Amino acid sequence: MMPTSLLPTTVVGSWPVPEWLERLKTDWFRSRMSRTQLDGVHDCAVTAAIKDQELTGLDIVTDGELRRDNDVDYLLARIPGIAIPQPAKDFYYDYYDARVRTSPVAPVPPDDAGLGLDADLAFTRARTDRPVKFSLTGPFSLAHRVSDTVHDDPAELVRAIARVLGGVAGALRDAGADVLQIDEPFLAGYPEQVGLAVEAINIVTRDVGTTGRDVTWALHVCYGNRYARPLWEGHYDFLFPAVLDAHVDQLVLEFARKGDEDLPVIARSGWDRALGLGVIDVKSHTVETPELVAARIHRALDLVPAERLVINPDCGLRHLPTAVATAKLRAMVEGTARVREKLASSESPPTRTRRRRNGRSGPATTDTPLDTLPDAPTTETSAETSTDDRTTASLAPAPGASL
Amino acid sequence: MLVDFRPHARLRNRKTPVTVTDSLGPVMDALSESATDLSRVRVVCDWVQYKQNFRDVVEVRPILSSTPDAPLPEGVRDDDLEVAVDVRRAAGVDLRATTRAALETRETPDVVLEDWGPTRESCIWGFNALYWTALEQWEKATGQAYEQALPGGESDARNHDAARGVIRELFTVWDGLADRGALPPELYVVEIGVGNGAQARVFLDELRELDVEHGRGYYRRLHYLMCDYSPHVLDLARETVAEHAEHAEHVSSFVMDACKPRSVLAFLQFRVFLIYISNVYDNLPTDEVAQLGGRTYLVESRAFLPAADAAEIAASVNARPDQLGGLVHALLRLGPTLLAEARPDHVSSPEDAVEFWRRTWSAVRLAERYAGLAGLDTYELSPTVNGEALRPLLESGADVRMHVSNGAVASFTETIGLLHPFGKLVCHDLFARDVGAYRTGFRGPGKYDGSVVNWVNGPLLAHIGRRRGFDVSYAPFAHRTGTNIVTMTAQVRD
């Protein structure tokens, strides 16, 4: 695995879906193409997307979620106990009308725990030597797309799905994921339920970090990107303090479209782990300049130290034309590089600490070389050192911000 | 030979009796007597209901077989030409002689106003734009306000019940957002195509009154944006709204091309709770596409003045017929007032220029031909939508000719991008509600006073809206009977 640097760059998850791929995906849902043919198309598209990400200079890549019909159904339809009465679609991106048949339980035998997503991950892992991020829609959002007459308490469905996703996450870890990201696109619409969402996230992550190889956990919360439109409006203050209890290493949030007025919210909330900083507006076809990206990063650096920042777009790139998306990402990579250079010219030698994903109560640790995280063991320190002064930041990212 | 008799319902209509024998017999005779390869011809009959329109009773439309960069599929029809008959006007015409003449014409004596091209680029849209920008002069010459030219004599936009219904729905949405602390401080409502301002006035009056009852202070936060292409119309609307002094501080007005609402309103992206559009889409530029015998064509057109009309018009402005093209384009570029200044040798006053405009507009016709489309994706439907959006409407393979409603598509796609996640677009217009409507009835273009009218392709807008995450529904206009007006509603799905 190649080393990453300070301010690692990545995508949130999805890659542009070209019109021809939309046609072919829709053809499958309308029984005009075989599954075998579509799988072949997906293999080619994913391979190309990985290469495109590498060419734009991203440090951490994904499969572009190109096999998925949308952010929900690809996963939801695989969960035992979820029924899809009408699996045909007029357009591939439409949502199924899903319902709960029986309370979801993890599949038996355990080899099937990955629900096939581990095979997707393995395909990606085999096609790049860069760190791989894999995203899965979180239990809270999945549960909100299902009609449930089985559970008396809707929260039980969220928890049941979370337990299944815990198994999926373990399989993804074993298949070579470096970053596992939980997406909760619907959470902003139900701010009063953030506690339940965090509880479910902790069910998903509970066993993954304690056995086998380690992974970095990210949580992505946005205001929606369905058809390139926001689903909700509001501010991220609803996440706190509940999200401080989430066992994740990164919060991946949107700031480019909404502006950075929520950054102080994050800074004063007590969030001391990594922040995935959205610097690219995915709802606009206007390509940001490297200067604008750099300015956005610098504004964030006033509040969050560099070693805790990951640089990414606001959300998935699915709805952008490929040429626009790649131009935006090139600007993002170049803008980030300029900030790195500036930091490098003013930095003192690195020594810093970090917190682990279990947050405020977690032990502080020193940095480890970038190319060995997360597999290499970390060294505990006896004392906590401030990470809030970016002038003391190293060129190495914090664990949640690195691999 | 293929015959498509679209207004078949007229065959059983006692009020307007039509027979196949009368409508088609002479046409068939003329075709049989000609050198036309009858295996490669199609005959279509329409009932062109607009008394002022762009068609002759019989037209011959070439079908261009060559499609650059695309192989000709096997097993499809490859016709040479289409003969089109306007059944409504056929009764008083010697169809046999007219058809024979149309088939034999090679060198046209008519005055051609432009080259072949997509209909949306035709100069008829220049006339249409001129009508709205110089409406005051047109109205002065005709002696009637444009609303009187509308069917029924007025816009459908001033219904109090309709306004109250929409406002109550808005209050429900705003209440919900306010309860969650997510209601923005400014509440935007946009109206595109403001007519004489009656809709704005009714809406503001009703909202103010209902807000007093409701008691949550929404009127105070309201911003009502009136947008129209015509400065004259916008002036009238402002006067209407200003009759209530309190409304003035809540209303802004913008001269705006309805095809490019973002050029003025981009700052409102995702912020508008209600967009109201009335009788606008049917007046925006459009192409037509046709699925004929398994192939897809773009209808290309070319505006012309029939020779006899051209001779009369030329004489009236002291010009030769071959000078008319230049005069027409000068009129469309300059408007009547400046034309009188620039070409006093032809029109000595603005009034003369308006008269020239009206006579030319009355005479102008569209010749048509079919040009093969190499691929739907290569056809630009609007700046952000390509022809792939037409695929679901054409994929049955059955013959159909339909509007593409380019201007409406551009306006619609840009406009829904302004909507707040809980916003709604309400549009009253002439919509074809299913593709089948194009197979049974003529949907334009026609002339309404000095403007162009085409029915809007409802299924296309619904499909495009759906692919952008909106539910788009159509219903008959609920507040007046006996109208063709349809209400389209678009709201975010999921």
Residue in chain B closest to A26 (alpha carbons) equals B392
Provide the domain limits for residue A85: 19-345
> Would an 8 Å CB–CB cutoff place A30 in contact with chain B?
no
Residues in B whose CB is inside 8 Å of some CB of A read: 180-182, 184, 270, 377, 386, 388, 391, 417, 420-421, 466-470, 492, 494
Q: Rounded to whole angstroms, how far apart are CA atoms A278 and A241?
A: 21
Provide the domain limits for residue B95: 1-107
3-state secondary structure at position B431: strand
CB contacts, 8 Å: B470 with chain A: 227
CB contacts, 8 Å: B271 with chain A: none
Q: Exposed (0-12), middle (13-18) or buried (19+): which is B468, by Cβ within 10 Å?
A: buried
3-state secondary structure at position A34: coil
CA distance A309 to chain B (A): 29
Q: What does the pLDDT read at residue B74?
A: 73
> Would an 8 Å CB–CB cutoff place A185 in contact with chain B?
no
Domain-located, residue B167: yes
Q: Are B45 and B6 in contact (CB under 8 A)?
A: yes
How many CB atoms sit inside 10 A of residue B331's CB? Answer: 27
Structure tokens at A245: 């209890």
Written as one string, the DSSP assignment of B159-217 is -HHHHHHHHHHHHHHHHHHHHTT---SSEEEEEES-TTSHHHHHHHHHHHHHHHHH-S-
Domain-located, residue A169: yes
CA distance A374 to chain B (A): 38
Query: Among B79, B74, B75, which Cα is nearest to B63's?
Result: B79
More confident residue, A360 or B16: B16
Amino acid at B410: A
Residue B463 has pLDDT above 90, yes or no: yes
Average pLDDT over residues B141-145: 86
Q: Are B78 and B41 in contact (CB under 8 A)?
A: no
Structure tokens at A291: 């200067």
Largest CA distance in chain A: 63
Amino acid at A397: P
Q: Are B56 and B307 in contact (CB under 8 A)?
A: no
Domain-located, residue A395: no
Q: What does the pLDDT read at residue A376?
A: 34
B160 and B64 within one domain: no
Residue B329 has pLDDT above 50, yes or no: yes
Residue B157 has pLDDT above 60, yes or no: no
Domain-located, residue B125: no
Query: Among A280, A398, A285, which Cα is nearest to A336's?
Result: A280
Structure tokens at B482: 């006996």
Q: What does the pLDDT read at residue B109?
A: 81
Confidence of residue A373 (pLDDT cuts 50, 70, 90): very low
Q: What does the pLDDT read at residue A282?
A: 97
CB contacts, 8 Å: A232 with chain B: 182, 421
Q: Rounded to whole angstroms, how far apart are CA atoms B303 and A103?
A: 67
Average pLDDT over residues B244-253: 89
3-state secondary structure at position B80: coil
8 Å CB contact of B468 and A224: no
Residue A357 has pLDDT above 80, yes or no: no
CB contacts, 8 Å: A25 with chain B: none
**Start-to-end CA span in chain B (Å):** 49
Q: What does the pLDDT read at residue B130?
A: 96
Average pLDDT over residues A62-91: 94
Structure tokens at B128: 């249409």
B158 and B65 within one domain: no
B257 and B155 within one domain: yes
% of chain B exceeding 90 in pLDDT: 69
B239 and B161 within one domain: yes
Pairing of strands A309-312, A274-278: parallel
Domain-located, residue A245: yes
Q: Are B461 and B405 in contact (CB under 8 A)?
A: yes
Residue in chain B closest to A144 (alpha carbons) equals B494
Domain-located, residue A354: no
Summarize pLDDT for A225-251 with one digit per residue, the tens.
888 888 887 889 999 999 999 999 999
Average pLDDT over residues B329-346: 96
CB pairs under 8 A between A and B: 39
Domain-located, residue B392: no
Residue A384 has pLDDT above 70, yes or no: no
DSSP3 helix / strand / coil % (chain B, rounded to 5): 45, 25, 30
Confidence of residue A369 (pLDDT cuts 50, 70, 90): very low
Average pLDDT, chain B: 90
Residue A30 has pLDDT above 60, yes or no: yes
Q: Rounded to whole angstroms, how far apart are CA atoms B301 and B286?
A: 11
Most B CBs within 10 A among A25, A227, A320, hence the mutation to make, goes to: A227
Residues whose CB falls within 8 Å of the CB of residue A35, separated by 6 or more in sequence, listed in order: A28
- CATH number, residue A135: 3.20.20.210
How many CB atoms sit inside 10 A of residue B22's CB? Answer: 13
Domain-located, residue B273: yes
Q: What does the pLDDT read at residue A111?
A: 77
CA distance B274 to chain A (A): 16
Confidence of residue A392 (pLDDT cuts 50, 70, 90): very low
Domain-located, residue B426: yes
B199 and B58 within one domain: no
CA distance A398 to chain B (A): 35
CB contacts, 8 Å: B391 with chain A: 23
A240, HSE (Cβ side, Cα atoms, 13 Å): 16
B411 and B277 within one domain: yes
Domain-located, residue A13: no
Domain-located, residue A382: no
Torsion angle (degrees, nearest 10) of CA B331, B335, B341, B346: 30
Q: Angle, to 10 degrees, between the axis of helix B307-316 and the axis of helix B350-363?
A: 180
Q: Rounded to whole angstroms, how far apart are CA atoms A297 and B217?
A: 40
Confidence of residue B198 (pLDDT cuts 50, 70, 90): confident
Confidence of residue A372 (pLDDT cuts 50, 70, 90): very low
Residue B161 has pLDDT above 90, yes or no: no
Summarize pLDDT for B36-84 with one digit per residue, the tens.
999 999 999 999 989 899 999 999 999 997 666 667 777 777 788 999 9
Q: What does the pLDDT read at residue A170?
A: 93
ipTM above 0.85, yes or no: no
- Give ∠ CA B240-B243-B245 in degrees, rounded to 5: 130
B243 and B167 within one domain: yes
Average pLDDT over residues A20-25: 94
More confident residue, A289 or A223: A289
Amino acid at A154: P
A73, HSE (Cβ side, Cα atoms, 13 Å): 21
Summarize pLDDT for B276-308 with one digit per residue, the tens.
998 899 999 999 999 998 889 999 999 999 999
8 Å CB contact of B494 and A234: no
Summarize pLDDT for B87-122 with one digit per residue, the tens.
999 888 999 999 999 998 766 789 999 999 999 999
Q: What does the pLDDT read at residue B32?
A: 94
Structure tokens at B367: 């010749």
Q: Rounded to whole angstroms, how far apart are CA atoms B250 and B222?
A: 6
Q: Rounded to whole angstroms, how far apart are CA atoms B129 and B230?
A: 9
Domain-located, residue A310: yes
Confidence of residue A375 (pLDDT cuts 50, 70, 90): very low
Domain-located, residue B96: yes
Average pLDDT, chain A: 86
Q: How many residues does chain A have?
A: 403
Q: How many domains does chain A have?
A: 1
Residue B21 has pLDDT above 60, yes or no: yes
Q: Which of A33-47, B8-22, B247-261 has the lowest mean pLDDT?
A: B8-22
8 Å CB contact of A233 and B469: no
Q: What does the pLDDT read at residue B66?
A: 65
Q: Exposed (0-12), middle (13-18) or buried (19+): which is B153, by Cβ within 10 Å?
A: exposed
- Give ∠ CA A158-A160-A165 in degrees, rounded to 5: 90
Q: What are phi and psi of A352, to 5 degrees?
A: -155, 175
Confidence of residue B155 (pLDDT cuts 50, 70, 90): low
Average pLDDT over residues A377-390: 34
Q: How many domains does chain B have?
A: 2
Q: What does the pLDDT read at residue B78?
A: 79
As a three-state string, the secondary structure of B6-58 is: CCHHHHHCCCCCCCHHHHHHHHHHHHHHCCCCHHHEEEEEECCCCCCECCCCE
Structure tokens at A37: 């043919």
Q: Which of A76-90, A126-140, A281-295 has the lowest mean pLDDT?
A: A76-90
Q: What does the pLDDT read at residue B242?
A: 85
Q: Which of A11-20, B70-79, B168-177, B451-460 has the lowest mean pLDDT?
A: B70-79
Confidence of residue A332 (pLDDT cuts 50, 70, 90): very high
Residue in chain B closest to A96 (alpha carbons) equals B494
Residue A358 has pLDDT above 60, yes or no: no
Domain-located, residue B118: no
Confidence of residue A4 (pLDDT cuts 50, 70, 90): low
Average pLDDT over residues A378-382: 34
Q: Rounded to whole angstroms, how far apart are CA atoms A304 and B268?
A: 31
How many CB atoms sit inside 10 A of residue A379's CB? Answer: 9
CA A34 to chain centre: 31
Q: What is the pTM of this model?
A: 0.85
Summarize pLDDT for A91-119 with one digit per residue, the tens.
899 999 999 999 999 876 777 889 999 99
Q: Are B258 and B229 in contact (CB under 8 A)?
A: yes
Q: Say which of A91, A228, A229 has its CB closest to residue B421.
A: A229
Structure tokens at B346: 């032809």
> Would an 8 Å CB–CB cutoff place A226 in contact with chain B?
yes
B262 and B153 within one domain: yes
Domain-located, residue B255: yes
Q: Which of A33-42, A288-297, B68-77 has the lowest mean pLDDT?
A: B68-77
Q: Does residue B403 come out as left (phi exceeding 0), alpha (psi in the -120 to 50 range) or beta?
A: beta
- CATH number, residue B273: 3.40.50.150
* Residue keyed to tokens 């949107």: A254
B181 and B83 within one domain: no
Residue A73 has pLDDT above 90, yes or no: yes
Average pLDDT over residues B300-322: 96
B3 and B92 within one domain: yes
8 Å CB contact of B469 and A226: yes
8 Å CB contact of B421 and A23: no
B409 and B277 within one domain: yes
How many CB atoms sit inside 10 A of residue B364's CB? Answer: 21
Domain-located, residue A394: no
